[in-house]
Amino acid sequence: MNPKGDEKYELKEDDILFARSGSIGRTFLYSGIPPKAVFASYLIRFRLKDEIIDPLWLFPYTHSAQYYEFIEAKKHILSQPNINAQEYKLLLIPLPPLPEQRRIAAKIQELMQEVERARNACERQLEALNALPQTI
């Protein structure tokens, strides 16, 4: 593959990346795009066991108040805030049965699509409103 030995840093679809410094706590769900991507040293990769936890369940959890309370409690503030992998091991994740995770994740995706449609409709309304004075 790569003569530099980057294989251990290569991302696989459904890996979740956690920022451990800078914007600590921010997460990214890797979808396979771009292909053959690797992650940087300021990120922590979670590779999930899909028979136990659905990444589409965990990823929205990383945007919850409970998750951000954990981050605030664990982060170290030096010249740049950070949190390490050992501290992430202490993160308690609510874990319903896998079928329930999938049902909730599907509902979240459905609702996020509705939010996006509403956002687009609002943007179109705002554009029409902004054009109104010129029309008059």
Q: Is residue 1 part of a domain?
A: no
What's the sign of the alpha-carbon dihedral 59, 108, 69, 23? positive
Question: What pLDDT shows up at residue 50?
Answer: 86
**Residues 48-68: what's their mean pLDDT?**
92
Tens-place pLDDT, residues 64-119? 999 999 988 887 766 667 788 888 888 888 899 999 999 999 999 999 999 999 99
Evaluate whether residue 25 is within a structural domain: yes
Q: What is the model's pLDDT at position 1?
A: 44
Cis-peptide into 34, omega within 30 deg: yes
Q: What confidence tier does 122 reach under pLDDT thresholds 50, 70, 90? A: very high
CA–CA gap between residue 56 and residue 62 (Å, rounded) = 10
Residue 4: predicted pLDDT: 60
pLDDT tops 80 at residue 3: no
CATH number at residue 86: 3.90.220.20
Domain of 93, in residue numbers: 6-135
Number of structural domains the chain divides into: 1
- pTM exceeding 0.75: no
**How many CB atoms sit inside 10 A of residue 100's CB?**
12
80 falls within a domain: yes
d(C-alpha 125, C-alpha 106), whole Å: 29
Average pLDDT, whole number, for the chain? 87
